[in-house]
Amino acid sequence: MADARAGGLGRAVIFLGPPGAGKGTQAKQIAKHYSVPHLSTGDMFRELVAQDTPLGKRAKPIMDRGDLVPDDIVLEMVAERVSRPDTARGFVLDGFPRTLPQAEKLDEILQARSWGQPLVVHFVVDAAQLVRRLTGRRICSVGGEIYNIYDQPPKVEGRCDNDGGQLIHRADDREEVIVERLAAYREQTRPLVDYYRSQGVLVDVDGMQPPAAVTAKVLEILERGQKAHSSPAPSPAAANQMSQRYER
């Protein structure tokens, strides 16, 4: 197994952080850099539904209703996906796990496949910046390119620079919805920061920096490999100051 994983990431990497922290953007960059899969549960479900697999058939009516897919289906999907040959050199998990029970089950899945502990990259962004990023986000309806009307606007209002596609303001990027999303994150997902920090596998990254600087920092962490994995946890005061910033 070790030879098969030569190069690449050589491990499971989890990107953790609140909505708007830049996890998806960074996950795509890092996965491309290392030529490993970028795994998001949304993409996985869409693939299973499109292929009309048994798991996709179970998930589709739940998704169509707008309900949360139960953990047993999500975990079965993740276990199947990380067992595929293309994950042999590592992979980046984006947006999963979301809850402590999911994290504990994911540990079991990774251990069963001899992956050991994951490396968890925690993106830290102030709450005000998160709201600005999300309310200003616009997504191309054709190619999926992401813009921000405040910080990275298109050349022509409402149109993608690359293909002229219409830019969409997603319903869940409206301020009243964002407030609820951030509250849900603090309640359900924020405990994962403490969970992974207690295991010594979590590294904080300042997500307030420009995207290129964030990517460079993440690459630096990943290149350290086992050194980052075994580095001492920050002092409780420093960890609390860093990880609580987005809650102010």
Residues acting as catalytic residues = 23, 98, 137, 170, 181
Q: At what angle do helices 71-82 and 54-64 cross, to 10 degrees?
A: 140
Q: Is 72 exposed, middle or buried (0-12, 13-18, 19+ CB in 10 A)?
A: exposed
Q: Is 67 exposed, middle or buried (0-12, 13-18, 19+ CB in 10 A)?
A: exposed
Q: At what angle do helices 71-82 and 100-112 cross, to 10 degrees?
A: 30
CB 94 within 8 A of CB 25: no
Question: Going by C-beta distance under 8 Å and a sequence separation of 6 or more, which residues neighbour residue 69?
Answer: 45, 59, 62, 63
